[in-house]
Amino acid sequence: MKTIVIFALLIFVNGVVSFSSQPGIGPTEAFGQSARKVLMIPREGYSQDLDLMIKMEVGVMTLLLKNAGFDVDIATTSGYPIIGPTQKIEKLSRLSETNLDNYMGIIMPCMAVGLFPGPPVAPDAVAAVKRALAEGKPVAASANSSIILADAGVLKGKRYAFVTNPLETTQRWTRKDLRFEGAIYSGPGVVQDGRIITSGICPRLEIATGMQSGVVELTQKFIAAIGPK
């Protein structure tokens, strides 16, 4: 059944080559109602497969959120377009210019940006996550974007998902990521602990490991955590 769902979503997003996140008039606003908005913060840095992640991570998340009645704005530190070989995300906002009061939660695609040590975590993203959680808003992180949560220190004492335990070394994973100290590793599947929702497997890691991507379930739990209007 999961395979059928993901295939159906692929059909819907396959033709989408760009996303616009600039504030505009959504369907609810057109009828005089207040739009329910969520903020998407993609992890920044070199991606191992940007086309795949735009289509099957950002695209699927956006589709599910819009079908649930949410407007989705996308913001990064630079605000520059994210451009892959054939897919792109245009008209992003700058995080420093984003009013978090307008959003009901934050969801973070991992974009197949590398594991530890990886690129530095953007301070703007850390600040946004801390504020959202302090205000009781849900924050969802796909795969490697959980590093933003760890860097923010909000995982301490919390259960979280990751492709493998970042505090254990193996022949393949040779370095520990001490940012996760004090947090409770709970496997690669989707995990929710309070207002924090994490998944250890993104579309790129699904290809690499054979484990099921958690993008759909993560987004569904995020929507449920926001709750009805």
Give me the residue spans of the domains in the chain.
2-226
pTM to 2 decimals? 0.87
Cα separations (Å) of 182 from 121, 156, 193, 218?
Answer: 19, 5, 14, 23
Instruction: Select the more confidently predicted residue: 92 or 31.
Output: 92
Helix (H) or strand (E) holding 40: strand 36-40
CATH architecture of 2-226: 3-Layer(aba) Sandwich (3.40)
Please choose, from the candidates 208, 52, 197, the residue with its C-alpha nearest in 3D space to the C-alpha of residue 132. 197
Are the C-beta atoms of residues 161 and 198 closer than 8 Å to each other?
yes
Which pLDDT tens digit goes with each residue over 66-84?
999 999 999 999 999 999 9
Phi, psi of 7 (to 5 degrees): -65, -40
Give the residue-averaged pLDDT of 149-174. Answer: 92
Categorize the per-residue pLDDT at 174 as very low, low, confident or very high, splitting at 50, 70 and 90: confident
Categorize the per-residue pLDDT at 170 as very low, low, confident or very high, splitting at 50, 70 and 90: confident
> Which among 31-40, 111-120, 145-154 has the top mean pLDDT?
145-154
